[in-house]
Structure 1
Amino acid sequence: MKKYFAALATTALISAAPFALAASSTDLTVTGLITPVACTPTFPGGGVIDIGKISSGDLNETSNTLVGTHPIKLVVSCDASAKFALNPIDNKNGTSTGDWFGLGLTPADEPLGFFFPKIVHVKDATTSLDAIKSDDDGSTWVKATDAQPGYLLSFATTGGTAPIATEVVTFDFEVETYIARADSLTLTDEVTIDGSATFEVKYL
C-alpha cells in the first residue's frame, strides 16, 4: 500500500509540473596533483623511547603522573624544495586519557595514559622557523606548541602562519609521558606501556 501511494504522489507531481524535473544523472569529478618531489621523515636517533620500569606505588593516586621527559629529533628531507605538513597519527587511538597519543590499555581495558611531543625548536638548515598546525586539512593555520593527533603540523617563517617550502626541516621535540591516575587503573600485574605514533608526510 505504501509503495502504491509513493508512485501515485510522484505521478501527480509530474502531471502538475512537467517542466520542473530534476536531471536523471550527475557527475563525480576526481582531481589532484602528482608531485615529482619525495620527502622522507626519519628519527635520526631512533624512534623509540624507553621509560623503563615504574613502580605502581610511585604513581599519583588522584592525578596523572609524569614518568618521563625525553628529547627526540625528527628530520624531514626532500629531494627538492617542497611545501608539506606532517600528519601525526595515534596508533593507539582510543587509549589516551588526554588529547594526545595513547599508551595502550591495561588488561582490564583501562586507558593507561598518554604522551605528547612538545615542540622545542624548528629549523630549516640554520634558520629558525615557527611551528604551525591546522585542524581543517590545511585551510587555516595557527601557532603550534606540540604535535597532536587530528592536527596537521607544518612550519612558517618567524611570525607567520602560512606554510613555506623547504628541502630539509628539523623538529626538536621533548616528549612527556604521563600515566593515568592510579585509582583509575588495575595494577595487580605488570602492565606494558605501549604508545605508538606515526608521522606521515602530506604534500600541500
Structure 2
Amino acid sequence: MIASVSINAQAAIDLRVKGTIVPASCVPFLQGGGVVDYGNIAAEDLNQTSYTVLEKKEIVFNINCRGQTKVGLKAQDGKGFSQVPGILASTIGADYTDNYNYGLGATAKGEHIGGYAINLKPDSFLSASQPIRPITSVDNGNSWLATATGAVGQADNVAAWSRMSGLLAPVSFITLTGVLEVQAVINKAGELTIDNDVPLDGLATFELSYL
C-alpha cells in the first residue's frame, strides 16, 4: 500500500520565458565635442556689485535613432555644489528658478563663480525636414507643457518635442536636429578673488529618456 502511494505521486517543474523588448536605441550628439567656450573674460569688465550677464552661445544638437522613437532629454548638473542661488532669476528671467540654474564651478578659495541656463532654442528644431517645438514636463513625463524658452531643467524635468500644432505630446522620430543655447552669468566680482586665472568650469550631463 505504501509503495503504491509513492509511485503515483506527481512532481512539477516550471518553465519561464523571459526577455525585454527595448526601444530603438538613440544617440545624442553635440557639435564641437559639447564644449561651449567663452574665451578670456577681462576681470575689469565684470560688475563689482551685481551679476554680469554674458552673451548667449549656440551649439548644434542632434539625436539619431535606429527607428521611430519617442525620446526626451534629462539633465544633471555636475557642478551643482557651486550654484549661486537666484542668479538666473534675477538677471535673465523670473522663470529661471534654481531648477534651471547650472553651476560654473568655484575659485581656488571656494567662491562660487556663477551659473548658466540651457535652452533648446525654439523654432530651430527639425525632424524629417518638418519643424517641431520643444515642450517640457515637470513630473517625469506624466504631463506636458508648452515652453516659450525651451529651458532645460533638472530633477523631475524632462524636455521633449511635439508637432507645431495639435496635441501637446512627444512625437517619435528617427533624426532630430536643432540648436542648444547656453547663457552664462558671472557672480559679483566683489565676491570673487581674481588674483590668478579663474576658469569657468560648468558640466551638465544629458541623458535620453525613452517615453
TM-score by length of 2: 0.75
Structure 1 ranges of 4+ moved more than 6 A: none
SS in 2 for 1:137: coil
Aligned position for 2:35: 48
1:179 is aligned to 2:179: no
SS in 2 for 1:136: coil
TM-score by length of 1: 0.78
SS in 1 for 2:34: coil
Is the Cα contact below 8 Å between 2:23 and 2:210 reproduced in 1? no
C-alpha distance after superposition, 1:95-133 (max 9, x if no partner) = 122422111011221221112223322221211111111
Aligned position for 1:158: 164
Give 1:191's aligned amino acid. Answer: V
C-alpha distance after superposition, 1:21-59 (max 9, x if no partner) = xxxxxxxxxxxx641410000113431111111121110
User: RMSD over aligned Cα, in angstroms?
Assistant: 1.9
Q: Matched residues in 1 for 2:47 and 2:77: separation? A: 25
Q: Matched residues in 1 for 2:82 and 2:48: separation? A: 19
Q: Matched residues in 2 for 1:65 and 1:181: separation? A: 7
Change (3 A) 1:130 1:39: same
- Name stretches of at least 5 consecutive residues in structure 1 with no aligned partner: 1-32
Is the Cα contact below 8 Å between 1:90 and 1:198 reproduced in 2? yes
Aligned position for 2:57: 70
Correspondence for 1:143 among 125, 141, 146: 146
Aligned position for 2:45: 58
Equivalent positions of 1:73-84 (< 5 A) are 73-84=60-71
Indicate the percent of aligned positions where both proteins have the same amino acid: 32
Q: Matched residues in 2 for 1:55 and 1:73: separation? A: 27
Correspondence for 1:200 among 190, 196, 207: 207
Is the Cα contact below 8 Å between 1:83 and 1:166 reproduced in 2? yes
Is the Cα contact below 8 Å between 2:71 and 2:172 reproduced in 1? yes
Aligned position for 2:24: 37
C-alpha distance after superposition, 1:60-89 (max 9, x if no partner) = 122221234211111000000011101111
Q: Structure 1 residue 191: deviation in Å?
A: 1.2
Equivalent positions of 1:4-23 (< 5 A) are none
Equivalent positions of 1:99-138 (< 5 A) are 99=98, 100-120=101-121, 121-138=124-141
